[in-house]
A and B are shown apart, each in its own frame.
Chain A
Amino acid sequence: MLLEAEAVSKAFGSFFAVREANLSVVEGEIVGLIGPNGAGKSTFFNCLAGDATPTGGRIIFAGQNVTHASPERHAQLGIGRTFQVPATFEGMTVLDNVMVGAYLRHPHHNDARDHARQIVELTGLSTQTDMAAHSLGTPGRKRLEIARVLATTPRLMLLDESLAGLTPTELQEAIGLVRKINEMGITIVIVEHIMEVIMTLALRVLAFNQGHVIASGKPEEVVKDEAVIEAYLGHGRHKHRSRSA
């Protein structure tokens, strides 16, 4: 078990963004997190990444308790993440962006640069190596984020809607890239709205709603789950709602 989240909760005052969520990820898996906006999946994701500290429960990565660990520590241990709104280093070139990631395991300039070049090649960004990050479109930036994280040689990659907003061709390429990364031995947890991504890539899926995990299992099953459908289409579908006259 590479990653274990046990009864993780995140409360803001009396409001629970995440309530007792459990997740076990086996090394080499691709796990998907789905759920409508505000369902808590992003907060849960941030807890896994170390960006938010759970108010309850614990998170164990490769036998280490990372519940209260900083994002830097997470990266050192081998957990990498991308951001929903790409947070590339805008003024720096593609290569320099990736080098920042590469420096984690390659403290020396030349090693870092060589490793970064390899990653740039691998992620299909070689034609843009010396372009400034801000001149890439959003798909380019998302890809750059993936490359940057990849350069840190992670064991686990947390992808936060990294495939959103892509054209059908770009989407296929991106799916291919994620699969390639997984085949390199990297475990992936992916938050995504796009069903095609979840269905094609994820081995297992967790569905969130209102802070709870409401379903988990194979993608085909979860997607047909009643509770999941209700969560997406709005609660009260099967209930009577009192209407004021």
Chain B
Amino acid sequence: MKKTPAFNPTVLLAAALLIYPLIFSGAFYLDIGVTFLLAAISASAWNIVGGYAGQVSVGHAMFFGLGAYAPLLCYTLFGWAPIVGMPFGMALSVALAVLIGIPTFRLTGHYFSMATIAVAELIRIYFGTWDLVGAAIGLQGPATARGWWDLTFRSELPYYYIFLAVLAFLLGLTFMIERRRFGYYLRAIKAGERAARSLGVPVQQTKIKALALSAAFTSVAGSLYSIKTGFIDPESGFGILVSVQMVIIAALGGAGRLFGPLVGALILIPLQTATNTWFGGGGTGLTFILYGGIIVLIARYEPGGLFDLWEHVRPRRWRRKHAA
């Protein structure tokens, strides 16, 4: 069905995101907005390798954490503006991605997933002992801005628009990939590796590229996080909850769909904020019981997430609407 540009959902969404902070300008709402964008960026990055290519990483926090530590480390060691550390984080993440991908992508999917947990945990525990990166205490960013380049803002508004720009860029890139050979190859790998090979798809290489790309952007998300928060420690960088959040957000909305992670974040971030507020300290525990339950339900009933659920439900409504 062709829709006139005024009702194009993508345009509407973009408009909504752009004007959101102008309408909901309180610090509380702004914070949710920023958290939402960050979650959408990480989950969209995960989506490239986990959703499109079907290689389920449950330890993506390793890339997030590296990206989060790099800027603050550069600041702490050399006094540089934290943003300068972002490319270093990306480079490290890409290197790590290749290091993990080469041996594990030759084996069945489960090996890769197990390896991602093991490596993320390994790094988390190690960073907790490593004085250079602040051990268990972690690192901090500049307390007050020395200049605009420190990106230390008192209001969250500038962060909101920076993150929105990054999200737009990532989604735009993903959209382009979807329409090109790389995207088709990713989907073919997910749908049937053996068949993909027989058609000349360079499966090993493609998976590694997907993981590297995903790692790079996850690292960016991590950098943005630590620059905004001004703080990082092993748990907030490499903790399993970081990995879980990425996975559940992408999977709930629809893994392998362009806007899947966005939809997932739209639902889960407010939900998470609500349960944290209502249950106070016990909230985080309850939130993750809920997450666990949601993940199991998705796995059992609708692995394609809400987008797939919508498509299964929609034909019936369409038929009823157009009957007789």
Residues of A at the B interface (CB closer than 8 Å) are 49, 51, 70-72, 74-76, 80-81, 83, 87-92, 96, 99-101, 103-104, 107-109, 112, 148-149, 152
Beta-carbon nearest neighbor of B196 in chain A: A100
Pick the contact of A112 from B181, B195, B202 — CB < 8 Å? B181
Contact (Cβ within 8 A) A100 B199? yes
B165 contacts partner chain A, Cβ-Cβ < 8 Å: no
Pick the contact of A87 from B180, B194, B203 — CB < 8 Å? B194
When chains A and B are docked, how far (Å) is the Cα of A3 from the Cα of B237?
56
Contact (Cβ within 8 A) A49 B184? no
Contact status of A81 and B201, CB under 8 A, knowing A89-B191, A99-B184, A109-B181? no
Write out the residue numbers on chain A whose beta carbons fall within 8 Å of the beta carbon of B179: 109
Contact status of A103 and B181, CB under 8 A, knowing A72-B202, A76-B200? yes
Q: Name the interface residues of B171-225: CB closer than 8 Å to any CB of A.
A: 179-181, 184-185, 187-188, 191-192, 194-203
Write out the residue numbers on chain B whose beta carbons fall within 8 Å of the beta carbon of A109: 179-181
Query: Shortest Cβ distance from B319 into chain A, in angstroms?
Result: 15
When chains A and B are docked, how far (Å) is the Cα of A104 from the Cα of B188?
13
Contact (Cβ within 8 A) B200 A72? yes
If over half of B's interface residues share one DSSP class (helix, strand or loop), that class is named, otherwise mixed; here it is helix
Contacts A72-B197, A72-B200, A107-B181 known; list 19 others, CB within 8 Å. Answer: A51-B194, A70-B197, A71-B197, A71-B198, A72-B201, A72-B203, A74-B198, A75-B199, A83-B195, A87-B192, A89-B195, A90-B191, A92-B191, A100-B184, A100-B185, A100-B199, A101-B199, A109-B180, A109-B181
Beta-carbon nearest neighbor of B179 in chain A: A109
When chains A and B are docked, how far (Å) is the Cα of A116 from the Cα of B263?
33
Query: Shortest Cβ distance from A50 into chain B, in angstroms?
Result: 8
Beta-carbon nearest neighbor of A107 in chain B: B181
When chains A and B are docked, how far (Å) is the Cα of A215 from the Cα of B201?
36
Contact (Cβ within 8 A) B200 A152? yes
Contact (Cβ within 8 A) A89 B200? no
When chains A and B are docked, how far (Å) is the Cα of A106 from the Cα of B192?
21
20 pairs of residues in contact across A and B, judged by CB atoms under 8 Å = A51-B198, A71-B194, A72-B201, A72-B202, A72-B203, A74-B198, A75-B197, A75-B198, A75-B200, A83-B195, A83-B198, A87-B195, A88-B192, A88-B195, A89-B191, A92-B191, A101-B199, A103-B184, A109-B181, A148-B199
When chains A and B are docked, how far (Å) is the Cα of A89 from the Cα of B199?
12
When chains A and B are docked, how far (Å) is the Cα of A96 from the Cα of B181?
11
Query: Shortest Cβ distance from B197 into chain A, in angstroms?
Result: 4
Write out the residue numbers on chain B whose beta carbons fall within 8 Å of the beta carbon of A70: 197
Write out the residue numbers on chain A whose beta carbons fall within 8 Å of the beta carbon of B201: 72, 100
Residue of A75, A87, A89 contacting most chain B CB atoms (<10 Å): A89
Write out the residue numbers on chain A whose beta carbons fall within 8 Å of the beta carbon of B200: 72, 75-76, 101, 104, 152
Write out the residue numbers on chain A whose beta carbons fall within 8 Å of the beta carbon of B191: 89-92
